[in-house]
Structure 1
Amino acid sequence: MNRLEYFDKSQIKKYVKPRHGETKLGQDLELLENIKDLENLHQDYVILGLPEDIGVRANHGKAGTSKTWAAFLESFLNIQNNRFNSAENLLILGHLNFEDLLNQADELDPNHNDYHVFLSDLVEQIDEHVCEVVKQILSFDKTPIVIGGGHNNAFGIIKACSETEGQPINVLNIDAHTDLRHCKHRHSGNGFSYAIQKEFLNKYYIFGLHKNYTPEYIFEYIDQKNQIDYCCFDQLLHLNQLEKLSKLKAGCNFLMNEFGLEIDCDSIQNFNSSAKTPSGFSIDEMRNMIKMLKNNPLKYIHICEAIPSSTTGKALSYFVSDLIREQ
């Protein structure tokens, strides 16, 4: 089943709010009719939406990440196209339509003993579709920016990068959690443990890990793995912004060379997400981290776990515009 729905003129008409004398970013985007068109286009960044929350539900998390893609488009397409923001180096490919899988998830009985196992079967289907489309984006030497859905989608993205390169890749994850839970069934909390098990992931660094929400068995697992390291958020509390960026730079040095960038919105203070936290990075701190990290050769960028609120779309728009902005 072809789940890719292309971003087209009807989407622009749906989301963009024209204003006399102004040009919104969505009004200046080049549109695709087929993913193969990427071969002849110069843009470096390709945005893909994953509107699903099945992986989050399979991990006992709060549903709602399936609606983040629409919230992002509503805000991002309406930022000003000016000397600082340009669609020149950007394409919005579209999104993967998981409506049938979401309907199947809704029909499951949450009280059934195997409820979360049933959800994991759907997550595995999502994995394959995510991997397939991301591999196609990578085949045209483009950098995917993946928005929306749960952190389960990291597995499909990492698998796509690894299979494209023929070797395991390295990943930096800004997150309150490791997502290294047991590989019993697929969900948003074990994308990286599955990626390690399948030999798609080599070096893995977690920045901003919360001591209160990391099981001891995971700390013991990390102790045994030379290719995994972390910096706890608790270690950063007394530091100023420059000192925090220095700690983040140390994480980049641990990974070396190219790596994938994961941004889990659970790590942001009071951000509406599947595991909202009162203690975390500020949005401005996250923006500064993104501005520093974009100077590294990034294989992909994945922003996940956000749930729509009055400011979610605007926050994600800041993150993406910071990534693609040259100045």
Structure 2
Amino acid sequence: MTHLIRYTREDLLAHTNKRDGEVKAGEVIPVLSQEVELKDSASLYVIIGIPEDIGVKANHGKAGTSLAWNAFLNSYCNIQHTEKSRLKNALVFGEIDCRLEMEEASLLEITTDGAAEKLGALVERIDHKVVEVIQTIVTAGKTPIIIGGGHNNAFGNIKGTSQALNKPISVINFDAHSDFRPLEHRHSGNGFSYAKEDGFLDKYYIFGLHRNYTSQEIIDRIEKSQGTIKIAWFEHMMLSRGSSIMQATIEADNFICDDHFGLEIDLDAIANMGSSAMNPVGFSVADARSFTKHFSSNKNCAYVHICEGAPAFELFPNQVGKVISYLVSDVISG
């Protein structure tokens, strides 16, 4: 994989604060030596990072998601290793190399004519890298855990998994937004619409969509999807006497879980979470953990993507890194 910066034990120890009498995760998390094939690893899960925020910028959003991967490592490498942690279930493979694209994006201002399209072209370059890495991991029989980065990377996750399995896959997206915007230049708001258009996305379930951030154009397009897209509105679940979270979960189970699916977790669905689209209204961290645990433990879950975290906007130190660490821990303990 030419686009992956592979991590060594020394890379993880650089994020680890050792302490006498304790064993920290960074000391024991599996890494893959150059001599071992990925398919031969004993780990079921493969953790990779995508340190970029180009898709967010191309979507006229606030940059900062490029820092979530490092924040995650700073937290995850320092959780306690015990008989209950199951840390060896997931190896840390490394990060997708976005350095050149990030450098080029830093020279572009979204308000300048043509900049959005240039940023979109950079997103497409990252798409190709994500597809290659995800396809390789899934082909090896492992489940990728992808730490973003923006939600633009959903496209590469879906395409890479679809190509590895040689069929379209379904997706459940825990998100305040549909990310089903029109097929303009690539950005964080149209990963699912591109995946649908290109035939890689089969059924799509949006869990927790906010009415205030969903245009009529998107609603109309979803209604024309011939039943392949369903919505559990946040307001219907949480603010009315409509469906509960449990009822929506059952509906999602019946809709997508009978075959391979991807699990997308957008941190902006969590109230007051440091994210690119931070929102005072949303689910709790406990809701997100329960949701993640439930769907990731399904045998048909083909990948897990946690994205849109932005440490620069967090309400207290290490909020983003700790929350992502909890979610990853919930996945690998299943």
TM-score, normalisation: structure 1? 0.96
Task: Tell me which residue corresponds to 1:305.
Answer: 308
Q: Structure 1's 81 and 299: CA in aligned 2 closer, same or farther, altered over 3 A?
A: same
Task: Tell me which residue corresponds to 2:65.
Answer: 65
Shift of 1:14: 1.1
Shift of 1:35: 9.1
Shift of 1:238: 4.2
Q: Quote the sequence identity (%).
A: 43
Larger CA deviation: 309-318 vs 290-299: 290-299
Shift of 1:36: 6.1
Task: Tell me which residue corresponds to 1:246.
Answer: 247
Task: Tell me which residue corresponds to 1:207.
Answer: 207
Larger CA deviation: 306-315 vs 261-270: 306-315
Spell out, residue by residue over 1:187-228, the C-alpha distance to the aligned partner (whole angstroms, 9 max, x if none).
Answer: 000000000110000100000000000000110111111100
Spell out, residue by residue over 1:256-313, the C-alpha distance to the aligned partner (whole angstroms, 9 max, x if none).
Answer: 3231100001111000111011100010111111222223120100000001132110
Gaps of 5+ in 2: none
Question: How far apart, CA to CA, are the structure 1 residues paired with 2:97 and 2:202?
Answer: 30
Task: Tell me which residue corresponds to 1:95.
Answer: 95
Task: Tell me which residue corresponds to 2:135.
Answer: 135
Shift of 1:243: 3.6
TM-score, normalisation: structure 2? 0.94
Where does 1:254-273 land on structure 2 (aligned, <5 Å)? 254-257=255-258, 258-273=260-275
Larger CA deviation: 288-297 vs 50-59: 288-297
Task: Tell me which residue corresponds to 1:281.
Answer: 283
Answer whether contact 1:45 1:90 (CA < 8 A) is retained: yes
Answer whether contact 1:172 1:252 (CA < 8 A) is retained: no
Say whether 1:323 aligns with 2:325: no
Larger CA deviation: 8-17 vs 59-68: 8-17
Shift of 1:252: 1.9
Larger CA deviation: 310-319 vs 288-297: 288-297
Question: How far apart, CA to CA, are the structure 1 residues paired with 2:14 and 2:198?
Answer: 41
Question: How far apart, CA to CA, are the structure 1 residues paired with 2:35 and 2:112?
Answer: 40
Question: How far apart, CA to CA, are the structure 1 residues paired with 2:332 and 2:134?
Answer: 19
Q: Structure 1's 129 and 198: CA in aligned 2 closer, same or farther, altered over 3 A?
A: same
Q: CA RMSD in A?
A: 1.6
Matched to 2:181, the amino acid is: R
Spell out, residue by residue over 1:38-82, the C-alpha distance to the aligned partner (whole angstroms, 9 max, x if none).
Answer: 121121100010000000000001100001100000001110011
Question: How far apart, CA to CA, are the structure 1 residues paired with 2:34 and 2:96?
Answer: 14
Larger CA deviation: 68-77 vs 102-111: 102-111
Spell out, residue by residue over 1:79-131, the C-alpha distance to the aligned partner (whole angstroms, 9 max, x if none).
Answer: 00112202221100000121111110111243321111110000000000000
Question: How far apart, CA to CA, are the structure 2 residues paired with 1:108 and 1:294?
Answer: 38
Matched to 1:320, the amino acid is: V
Question: How far apart, CA to CA, are the structure 1 residues paired with 2:5 and 2:296?
Answer: 28
Spell out, residue by residue over 1:110-169, the C-alpha distance to the aligned partner (whole angstroms, 9 max, x if none).
Answer: 332111111000000000000001111111100000002000000011001111122111
Gaps of 5+ in 1: none
Larger CA deviation: 30-39 vs 184-193: 30-39
Question: How far apart, CA to CA, are the structure 1 residues paired with 2:233 and 2:35?
Answer: 40
What SS is found at the alignment partner of 2:19? Answer: coil
Q: Structure 1's 218 and 39: CA in aligned 2 closer, same or farther, altered over 3 A?
A: same
